[in-house]
Structure 1
């Protein structure tokens, strides 16, 4: 059972289920800033992702979270803090990004803190966010792209019913670079797909 509690001051809800709670990151929370910094500076994250704006210290982490909060407020991209449902401990992040309400499409992305890996956190978070994006946001299509060779992300997508649709050539930056590109596996799920969304 997925529970949704809408928040009055932001379009971002709180979602709970599958042992997780998804809610907004708080740029005024030192704990959230520290978790965000650890997530985006983690070598495994940096191996597969090159953010547009690098996060290298607490100041840049807080600035990045403030930017995410602005996007949450205007509804263009929605960033969820993934936490343990019982303890509230931060486990990672999932975003519903580049939301196009006209075409009813968005892109999803996620990462998990090192200590939370191997516990199905990304799969469970993706299941929660996907269900809400279709039922709460009214989207029709969700896209998920990951660097070619990122087999763990590929498995997470497939478990949640995101079908592989092809390889996009030179569609993202190489690790740690903004002057070279690499291929991306594109997965997608439609609101009308009948496969179960894995918890």
Structure 2
């Protein structure tokens, strides 16, 4: 049965070129992951704040090297492309941004991010999120980006507001965290916002 609409983004939109380095301004860059990032990612996941808002733990650098290998393949698979957020000069790892739940045909994805403890309070998450959103919406042509966070995560709510993601509602008991079920705020940006 034929569709009555054309895909927003065709297969290969991402994977037909190398994963880009995206300048985020103010000394930040979004770059592809490298194997040598494993110690910094492992250290970031030892922070108790990461355990509060993320459902994954990192037991070893070897385990993290496996994650990085997955993150590197994600670009070619066009499913969950991920970037390291780094200092543009020193190349110090400051966090991660990603597009999750990518549906190219609908032009939709979910933005996800985390920052290292040392990067928090410095505007890293908003700058990286804004850069990724600009790239995805304006350069690639995604139609809609969603951002979900626990209603208890006020810092993520501030990031969403600062980066133009409008609050659209609350998804009740939508995510299981180590401390139980969390209601999740659903924010979104659409092309042209």
* TM-score (norm: length of structure 2): 0.87
Matching residue of 2:40: 35
Deviation, 1:10, is: 5.5
Q: Which has the larger radius of gyration?
A: 2
Deviation, 1:38, is: 2.0
Moved more, 85-94 or 125-134: 85-94
Matching residue of 1:5: none
CA distance in 1 between counterparts of 2:140 and 2:79 reads 12
Q: Is 1:163 the counterpart of 2:166 in the alignment?
A: yes
Matching residue of 1:24: 32
CA distance in 2 between counterparts of 1:41 and 1:138 reads 36
Pair 126,155 (structure 1): closer, same or farther in 2 beyond 3 Å: same
* Structure 2: 5+ residue stretches without partners: 1-14
Cα deviation code 1:143-184 (max 9, x no counterpart): 000011100100010011100111111111123x6xx42211
CA distance in 1 between counterparts of 2:81 and 2:89 reads 23
Matching residue of 1:197: none
SS of corresponding position for 2:105 = coil
RMSD of equivalent CA atoms: 1.8
Q: Is 1:184 the counterpart of 2:189 in the alignment?
A: no
CA distance in 2 between counterparts of 1:49 and 1:173 reads 10
Q: Is 1:49 the counterpart of 2:57 in the alignment?
A: no
Deviation, 1:9, is: 8.6
Given that 1:11 and 1:75 are in contact with CA atoms closer than 8 Å, whether structure 2 keeps it comes out as no
CA distance in 2 between counterparts of 1:12 and 1:82 reads 14
Q: Is 1:67 the counterpart of 2:75 in the alignment?
A: no
Given that 1:143 and 1:186 are in contact with CA atoms closer than 8 Å, whether structure 2 keeps it comes out as yes
Matching residue of 1:196: none
* Structure 1: 5+ residue stretches without partners: 1-7, 194-199
Matching residue of 2:99: 96
